[in-house]
Each structure stands twice: as C-alpha cells, then as structure tokens.
Amino acid sequence: MNELNITPLLDLAFVLLVIFIITTPQLVNNLEMNLPSGKPPADAPKPKITNILISEAGKIVLNDEPKTLPELKQSLTELHAADKDLTVAVRGAQDVDYQYVISVLDLLQQLDITRVGLATATADTKP
C-alpha cells in the first residue's frame, strides 16, 4: 500500500470543526446587564404607577375607572403629557383572551410609553 489513508484524519478534522462551530457562540457573549438589587433606594420616593386591569370579558379598568379602548387612549395621552416618565402596570385576568392584553400593549407602544410592566400574582395573592 503506497498511499497514506487520510480518512480518519479528515473525520477528526470535521469533528473538531463542528465542536468549534458549536462552542464559539457561547464564548462570544458581550451582553452587559445591570440587574436591580431587589431593594429600593432608601431616599427615593415611591414611584406613582398607573394600573391597567383587563378582565376576562375584555373590560379595561384604568386606576379603578372603567374605560373603553378609545377612552383609555385619551386618558393615557393626557397622563403621558403631564408626566413623560409615566409608569404603567398592565394586569390581565387569569382567563383573559390575550388579544385584549396585546391591544393595550400596542396602544402603549403607539403612545410612546416605554415604562411598562406586566403585573403578575403569586399563588398566595388574588388579583
């Protein structure tokens, strides 16, 4: 046999290539995050949060006042004009059709309200 069999060498090269292709994306992770500490600053005032509740039937309640979607848009426009750092918490009922929540979130995006949170309830609390 005059020729060198390079098939095992090529197999090894391809296996190493696949390993490098798989592991390289995990090594190049430049995402920097500033995670909250979990404790509010002692001297900072508690932020005013605007609450939006969406019931199972799709009824919208803004700070304990029932609203339709156009009324909600008008109210949020007025609140956002008064406070550019408006903070909104959206809470959907447990069995709500998620399209209602998406409609409210879309409205918030249209009004350029960026400080939005999705409120959740633990097993011990009721919404």
Give the pLDDT band (50/70/90) at residue 30: low
User: The sheet that has 65-67: what strands, in order across it?
Assistant: 65-67, 60-62, 49-54, 87-92, 115-118
Q: What is the pLDDT of residues 101-113, one digit of tens each?
A: 888 889 888 888 8
Look-up: residue for tokens 């404790």?
39
pLDDT at 122 over 60: no
Domain edges within the chain: 49-118
CA pair distance 75, 70, nearest whole angstrom: 9
* Strands, E assignment, the chain: 49-54, 60-62, 65-67, 87-92, 115-118
Instruction: Check pLDDT > 70 for residue 22.
Output: yes
* pLDDT, average across residues 26-32: 65
Residue 127 pLDDT more than 70? Answer: no
pLDDT at residue 86 above 80?
yes
Q: What is the pTM of this model?
A: 0.59
Q: Which fold has domain 49-118?
A: Nucleotidyltransferase; domain 5 (3.30.420)
DSSP 85-105: T-EEEEEE-TT--HHHHHHHH
* Least confident interval from 54-58, 102-106, 123-127: 123-127
